[in-house]
Amino acid sequence: MSLTIASPATSIRTLGALRESGYKIMSIKDEIRANLIKALREGHDPFPGVLGFDQTVIPQIQNAILGRHDFILLGLRGQAKSRILRLLPGLLDEFIPIVAGSDLRDNPFDPISKYARDLIEEHGDETPIEWLHRSERYGEKLATPDTSIADLIGDIDPIKAAHRKLTYADEEVIHFGIIPRTNRGIFAINELPDLQPRIQVGLLNIMEEQDIQIRGFNIRFPLDLLMVFSANPEDYTNRGSIITPLKDRIDSQIITHYPATVETGIAITDQEAWQERTGEVTVHVPHFFREIIEQVAFEARGSEYVDQNSGVSARMTRAALENLISAAERRALLCGERETTARPSDLWFVEAAITGKLELVYEGEQEGAQTVAQVLTGRALKNTFARHFPSPERDRAPYQKVLQWFAGGGTLELHHDMPFVEYAKALDRVDGLREVTDRLAKPESPAVRASTMELVLEALHQQSLLGKEAGKASRIFVDMMGSMLSGIAPDDDEDFDEFDQ
């Protein structure tokens, strides 16, 4: 969302014409405050695409803006901190006037750089004016240990001094850093604790006294900035911390969080994942698959095998959904099908999106990232199934006919890349499976019915009622007692039965 802010025609090109137009220039914090007030009164959403924060984070950000605060977003990875900061320019005026050619985007009515002051002194009302778009008024720096004061604030430029035959006592030998060059805009520093303490000290005067000292130059530059930051909690990062004086100058500290509900997580993942693919195959993803993928993240955020101080990013569920769709797409291409529906066996390919995004504690490292990913997927499937179907753990009656078929020696082998006709035919061999699926799920299509039938078998396996022998390209469902390869039966305490075993 970008507000269209009323302003004089950008055809005004001189200081005199600007003055005659009656144009009033506000400070950046007053400007963004005024535009937020306008947005709230008119019912506009200043932060489109940021989901799950309506009652928590967004009101605090709005309060900070209304209070003209510099602020920091504090939270674990994948909590939309950078996205929020990059949406702030939408609350700026569409264009503002600056002195033409000024490195510091000087206010024509109150210039701060020597260049702008000299230009106005020489040309007076004929001083040329440029109009700066809101998109050019946002600066951002990822804090890294090698970031220097020269990068952020500036340094003496000996080449400029030599070329223009200036002495080092001349203010014009200064090469300004990225913060002064964002004057009259918003400047963001991501991962603030990674900035070395001595560099953080350099921010103190910018935020409070607006003094800049560069190589002996003690120049008061009243920079007009909104300073915003992001950081992980201090107990998460071992790379550094925020120095106390800088904390004191950041007016508001706003805590972000992960989605509170599975449905909110699904909405975020659907928004971020690449799903509308151009190609020869249309992939349908039933809602319960989206629930399972989001539930994996919820399981990980409560898992004893995952470092909870590290967090579980929303990027994991995005990549997992994309892998699920890709697995179904690949199968359809191999089978010569133009349309397909995701299957529970496709969840095996989600593992690749999980293993690299989890920081494991010692116990998790001992088991291995792949095993932990399989366990989390199995738990997610089990808990998602329990939200929509009678729990086999408490009531086996709906599934009794299916269990009896396996107890009587029936086995079912499903290959990853089975064409739909063979897949559906194989599942129909299991007595009672279609009946229980139709009665409990009411699937809307034959393809969804087949996927749901396999889901029922997976859930029975997760409840220790069926055995499953997992190969590289297939799954064989068997009676639990008759399974020679299932090992120890899964239960709630010893649940390293994995999704794949």
CB 103 within 8 Å of CB 259: no
Distance, in Å, from the CA atom of 22 to the CA atom of 300, rounded to the nearest integer, reads: 58
Q: 247 with 189: CB under 8 angstroms? A: no
Please list, in sequence order, all residues whose beta carbon lies within 8 angstroms of the beta carbon of residue 61, skipping any fewer than 6 positions away: 47, 71, 84, 254
SS (H, E, C) 470-495: ECCCEEEEEECCCCCCCCCCCCCCCC
Residue in the structure block whose two tokens are 């039938």:
453
pLDDT number for residue 493: 45
Nearest to 52 by CA among 252, 256, 255: 256
Residue 175's Cα: distance from chain center in Å?
35
- How many other C-beta atoms can be found within 10 angstroms of the C-beta atom of residue 397? 8
Structure tokens at 191: 């991962």
Judged by phi (left if over 0) then psi (alpha if -120 to 50, else beta), residue 100 lies in: beta
Q: With beta carbons less than 8 A apart as the criterion, state whether 480 and 466 touch.
A: yes
Identify whether the C-beta of residue 64 lies closer than 8 Å to the C-beta of residue 227. no
What pLDDT digit, counting tens, does each position of 204-246 carry? 888 877 666 666 665 677 889 999 999 988 644 556 788 999 9
293 neighbors 383 (Cβ within 8 angstroms) = no
For tokens 């430029």, the residue is 157
Closest to 353 measured CA to CA, from 373, 325, 378: 373
DSSP secondary structure code for residue 107 in this structure: B
Give the model confidence (pLDDT) of 366-391 as tens digits: 999 999 999 999 999 999 999 999 98
Q: How far is CA 366 from the centre of its chain?
A: 29
SS3 369: helix
Q: Of 82, 188, 183, nearest to 132 (Cα)?
A: 183
Average pLDDT for the chain: 88
Tokens linked to 67: 């209070």
- Segments of the chain assigned to CATH 3.40.50.300: 15-255
Q: Return the biggest CA–CA distance within the chain.
A: 99
Measured CA to CA, the distance from residue 316 to residue 358 in angstroms comes to 9
Residue 242 and residue 203 in contact, taking contact as beta carbons nearer than 8 Å: no
CB 254 within 8 A of CB 71: yes
Would you state the pLDDT for residue 485?
44
Fold of the 15-255 domain: Rossmann fold (3.40.50)
Q: Cα–Cα distance between 46 and 66 in angstroms, integer? A: 13
d(CA 341, CA 339): 7
Q: Are 12 and 96 in contact (CB under 8 A)?
A: no
Look-up: residue for tokens 């859930």?
459
State what percent of residues in the chain have pLDDT above 70.
87
Residues in contact with 77: Cβ distance below 8 Å, sequence separation at least 6, in sequence order: 232, 310, 311, 313
Give Cβ neighbours of residue 402 (< 8 Å, ≥ 6 apart). 430, 431, 432, 433, 436, 456, 457, 460
CA-CA distance, 192 to 234, in Å (whole number)?
10
pLDDT tens for each residue of the chain, 501 residues long: 445 444 556 789 999 999 999 999 999 999 999 999 999 999 999 999 999 999 999 999 999 999 999 999 999 989 999 999 999 999 999 999 999 999 899 999 999 888 899 999 999 999 999 999 999 999 999 998 889 888 898 876 666 666 666 655 566 677 788 998 999 999 999 999 989 888 898 888 888 776 666 666 656 778 899 999 999 886 445 567 889 999 999 999 999 999 999 999 999 999 999 998 888 899 999 999 999 999 999 999 999 999 988 889 889 999 999 999 999 999 999 999 999 999 999 998 999 999 989 999 999 999 999 999 999 999 999 999 999 999 888 889 999 999 999 999 999 999 999 999 999 999 999 999 999 999 999 999 999 999 999 999 999 999 999 999 887 788 999 998 765 444 444 444 444 444 554
> H-helix or E-strand containing 415?
strand 412-415
Residues 6 or more apart in contact with residue 259 via CB below 8 angstroms: 51, 52, 265, 268, 294, 314
